[in-house]
């Protein structure tokens, strides 16, 4: 059992239970064709990823994410693969989908923020900065985003707040 499924919104707990049944049937040798497909796609995704076949891995992980198989890790892995393939916008979309499914995970907003900064989409970066607890690091990031937007007064304000937390 993975800890990420306990963080899923309630409609998806049924998906988790079906996946658990699929794993059990593989172990017992009593699988239906459908449950065998889940494990086949999972193995294909991992194999493609290990072989460096990014587009194949994206294909298989996308199917798995549509089935909500693999929990948060599937969304993080898929986003990383999109990023490596130069499709940062797709990485953000898949992370936002994962964030919607796992709203209690604290790393989705931070990771999405990183990708928005990479895309130089500072307005969306600021939206995600507001979702992250204020630490010296996030305040510094907020200041840096405002600096990139040429909003110097706001940048200075957040740099000062950062220094108050970590002189």
Query: pLDDT tens across 115-146, in order?
Result: 999 999 999 999 988 888 888 888 888 899 89
Contact yes or no for 145/161 (Cβ under 8 A): no
DSSP structure string for 33-53: HHHHHHHHHHHHHHHHHHHT-
Query: pLDDT tens across 52-87, in order?
Result: 999 999 999 998 888 777 788 999 999 999 999 999
CA 14 – CA 36 distance, rounded (Å): 18
Is 60 exceeded by the pLDDT of residue 51? yes
pLDDT score of 77: 94
Per-residue three-class SS string for 85-136? CCCHHHHHHHHHHHHHHCCCCCHHHHHHHHHHHHCCCHHHHHHHHCCCCCCH
Contact yes or no for 63/47 (Cβ under 8 A): no
Is 60 exceeded by the pLDDT of residue 4? no
Does pTM surpass 0.75?
A: no
Share of the chain above pLDDT 90, in %: 46
Dihedral Cα 128, 80, 7, 21, nearest 10 deg: 160
């Amino acid at each position: 059992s993975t800890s990420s499924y306990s963080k899923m919104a309630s409609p998806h707990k049924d998906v988790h239970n079906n996946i658990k049944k699929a794993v059990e049937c593989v172990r017992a040798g009593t699988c239906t064709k459908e449950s065998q497909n889940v494990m086949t796609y999972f193995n294909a995704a991992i194999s493609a990823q290990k072989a460096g076949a990014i587009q194949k891995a994206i294909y298989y992980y996308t199917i798995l994410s549509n089935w909500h198989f693999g929990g948060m890790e599937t969304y993080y892995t898929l986003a990383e693969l999109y990023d490596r393939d130069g499709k940062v916008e797709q990485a953000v979309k898949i992370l936002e989908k994962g964030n919607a499914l796992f709203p209690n995970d604290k790393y989705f907003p931070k990771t999405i923020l990183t990708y928005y900064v990479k895309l130089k989409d500072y307005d969306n970066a600021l939206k995600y900065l507001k979702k992250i607890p204020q630490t010296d690091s996030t305040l510094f990031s907020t200041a840096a985003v405002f600096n990139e937007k040429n909003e110097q007064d706001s940048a200075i304000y957040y740099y000062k707040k950062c220094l108050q937390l970590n002189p």
